[in-house]
Structure 1
């Protein structure tokens, strides 16, 4: 891990660089798979499942019997935890419901918006090194609350053709319509184009590896919308002398164990924080089951010491972290100055894992600096807003001449005439 003390502002950009992830080099391979799925449907998907996931499938959809069997395999303790998390996620996302109102912009001219759910959404839940049933909740619960009529979920099966029972239990509990045993590029292609088994969806959500990311980028060019650009997961921790080094180290490592390309950064203006945190990281790392993975992540993680709180804030807003944890005495003051972050965790007793699982906020967040322009997944992600307007005869008398003048100035005579013919009848 790199320790950098008092870098100049000109050094910040290089210092805050993420682990390189250039998916464009994969586009040729990924596009070939997508084209094959578009033309051959289920047959191609099954072939790629055999090639990539090493499983031969006769049917792609998870059956009701399989879902029922999975429910018996999940412990009551885990079921209770999943349902508690789901309730909190429901509460938080339900509070985001849009309330449209009629707006009279001038006498006789009324405008308004109506929120309408995206009818068909596709959710991708990676298999990989961990069964991410929490991602099922984060995507399916707001989709259900929004009113999406079809919620399709794809996730890779194991080599026996089975989905992890907790994923299936979470999917049933959260309101997923159909679950398919499909991973990687073929999952994205199936939901983008539709196959004999998989419905075509209008927007695809969910994280994944670099091949999934490349596939989402390609299908989003013209076939389907996606939630946001994605990259490796990341956390930034801000700490001062009041922070517990064990807490800071645990936050560092909880991010590092996501994957070898994850990144953790500690920023402080108090040098006394550094050594105790390093010692705790080493101590906790030594007993982690996923130590090897975390160690790779720590190779491009950093501890940065800056001059003062002003530099802490400016560096943070430049980095625009996916997760930001503020473990300082003045955390409320600092949080008020943050303008670029996916999700902020305030105070000494708010670990990132709370948001990852059960506090109610969403863990599908912008990475790779996209927090400068993107929000994390929320209820609005599953909604489109349609605008309406109604103009009375009196309203057109007032507004019509304005429209005519503007249309004529843009040399769009038919636009002008659409008003003129109406005004003549009045």
Structure 2
């Protein structure tokens, strides 16, 4: 079996081959759905008691009150202070860069006044309370804390509640340190579908939130999907993706490792390279063959690359751009000498990394833009997580007496045409005799 699929965009069967490569079965496991449904119903019914029962069963953490599972702020600060100097400095630098970037996204209230005195506009307000789910144990991601918490606080969210499981009572110090740096307000040592239910419905101890963000396992994803509507959610993320468009000017080893950087997430992750230079694709294949055995997660890489990875020979860079838009990747690297020349041709991608030195991994941790990105072709219609996900808009309409004379007549005609006569009367009552 080849280490990675080889496709030719000029071949007659390429469309079918690409469709098959991109196919991803997002159907839900019925056993997971059933379990999550029961847990959510139980949490909604019994509140704290249900959360405590599931925490004892799944995380082996015993407590008689949910308040005992709230981690004091002093512990977060102690975790930050206790980090090795290099880790603390890296977290602080990343937090500063993420904050600086997201401060530019903040929207403001605006209004304008028409000649007759009618005022129209938009009022921006932050969400009141947000819940942040953070995986715990070995799968702990302090970078995700920063990427979710900081935009919420920049948006002005007054209360941000973080939940994170602590299997066997083990707390991840970098996650707690990131909570301290990210502006989190409260932290509870709970996880799984029960934590999502607690955030969505509220319990005797944990107040209900307006939106839940953050990654999690299949049970967490299923729970978020089920509570959507009661609360908002960020997105349901699919497997990680990287698509690299190259012109052959970047060292082959660099791009082999860049492909590994996403393929190592799990066996369903997707890593694809597009290039019009066949010899360069051969060089990247050789680099993969040489570098793969030394990778700590080689067993995952082999499965991911063989099943869902590809090196694709294109007729031109322009054809490669068309394929990019069809795939609409989570991460796109334009590893070419003049990436700005290609940028106008790219319509669909979660994050775009321009030039050979812009590796995707920098975006994951510290470049500044958010690493919570649309996957599974949803970049066609959705965007990275940002400040705008924690703000909402209210329309402002202050109609003057003069304005009511014009607008009232227009509204009355349209309302009558729709058969809504009270609507028409409401508008015409304000007309001058």
Q: TM-score range by the shorter chain?
A: over 0.9
2-structure distance, mates of 1:182, 1:304: 44
Which of 377, 387, 399 is 2:385 aligned to? 377
Say whether residues 1:21 and 2:21 are aligned partners: no
TM-score for both structures, normalised by structure 1 = 0.94
Where in structure 2 are the equivalents of 1:295-374 lying within 5 Å?
295-299=302-306, 300-374=308-382
- Whether the 8 Å CA contact 2:374–2:382 is kept in 1: the answer is yes
- Secondary structure in structure 2 of the residue aligned to 1:336: helix
Identify the residue that residue 265 of structure 1 maps to in structure 2: 272
- Whether the 8 Å CA contact 2:137–2:171 is kept in 1: the answer is no
Which of 109, 115, 124 is 1:115 aligned to? 124
Identify the residue that residue 154 of structure 1 maps to in structure 2: 163
Deviates further, 124-133 or 228-237? 124-133
Say whether residues 1:239 and 2:242 are aligned partners: no
Runs of 4+ in 1 over 4 A off after TM superposition: none
- Whether the 8 Å CA contact 1:23–1:213 is kept in 2: the answer is no
- Whether the 8 Å CA contact 2:137–2:170 is kept in 1: the answer is no
Where in structure 2 are the equivalents of 1:27-66 lying within 5 Å?
27-58=33-64, 59-66=68-75
2-structure distance, mates of 1:403, 1:202: 34
- Secondary structure in structure 2 of the residue aligned to 1:258: coil
Identify the residue that residue 215 of structure 2 maps to in structure 1: 207
TM-score for both structures, normalised by structure 2 = 0.93
Deviations 1:253-288 (A, max 9, x none): 111122222111111121112222122223333222
Say whether residues 1:286 and 2:290 are aligned partners: no
Shift of 1:57: 4.1
Say whether residues 1:167 and 2:170 are aligned partners: no
Where in structure 2 are the equivalents of 1:63-102 lying within 5 Å?
63-102=72-111
- Give the paired residue count: 423
- Secondary structure in structure 1 of the residue aligned to 2:101: helix
Identify the residue that residue 386 of structure 1 maps to in structure 2: 394
Q: Cα 1:282–1:130, aligned 2, differ >3 Å: closer, same or farther?
A: farther
Deviates further, 19-28 or 258-267? 19-28
2-structure distance, mates of 1:277, 1:113: 51
Identify the residue that residue 420 of structure 1 maps to in structure 2: 428
Deviates further, 194-203 or 141-150? 194-203
In structure 1, the gaps of 5 or more residues are: none
1-structure distance, mates of 2:292, 2:304: 12
Shift of 1:213: 1.4
- Whether the 8 Å CA contact 1:267–1:306 is kept in 2: the answer is yes
In structure 2, the gaps of 5 or more residues are: none
- Whether the 8 Å CA contact 1:16–1:319 is kept in 2: the answer is no
Which of 135, 139, 146 is 2:144 aligned to? 135
Which of 2, 7, 27 is 2:5 aligned to? 2
